[in-house]
Amino acid sequence: MAYAYDDQNIFAKILRGEIPNSTVLETEHSLAFRDLYPQAPKHVLVIPKGAYVCFDHFAQTASDTEIVDYVRAVGEVCKMEGVEEDGFRLISNAGRDAVQEVPHLHVHILAGRPLGRMLERA
């Protein structure tokens, strides 16, 4: 599948500094910032700086360096937010059925309250 990246998406604008964000962590290849519409007391988004649409695009085509940086950034945010003890949820929506709103790879780190079961039953 070809992944068409739209460089006008909101996270691309954040990466270019065109709109502000509440940064939690910045590394060479990744950026973590607070979700504008938090769904839990702790809700951080972690994105790669590269132009990747979704997780599978990234996992299939990013360099090893980018992947290591990104995964380590997620781990570092978990540590910074202190979520290990009570737990957290990591979500990465991809495409239509998952209702991905912003077409730049992001994982949500959600924590700070009981999060319920993974999915509502259809």
State the residues that interact with ligand DGP by CB under 6 A.
10, 21, 33-37, 93, 99-102
Q: Which is nearer to ligand DGP, 37 or 97 (CB)?
A: 37
Identify the DSSP state of 48. E
- In angstroms, the CA 94 to CA 92 distance is 6
Q: How far is the CB of 64 from ligand DGP (least distance, A)?
A: 25
Q: How far is the CB of 97 from ligand DGP (least distance, A)?
A: 12
Among residues 29, 57, 106, 108, which one is catalytic?
106
Does residue 29 carry a catalytic annotation? Answer: no
Cβ neighbours for 70, distance < 8 A, ≥ 6 positions apart: 29, 30, 46, 48, 58, 62
Burial class for 23, CB neighbours closer than 10 Å (0-12, 13-18, 19+): exposed
Q: How far is the CB of 68 from ligand DGP (least distance, A)?
A: 23
Catalytic residues: 106
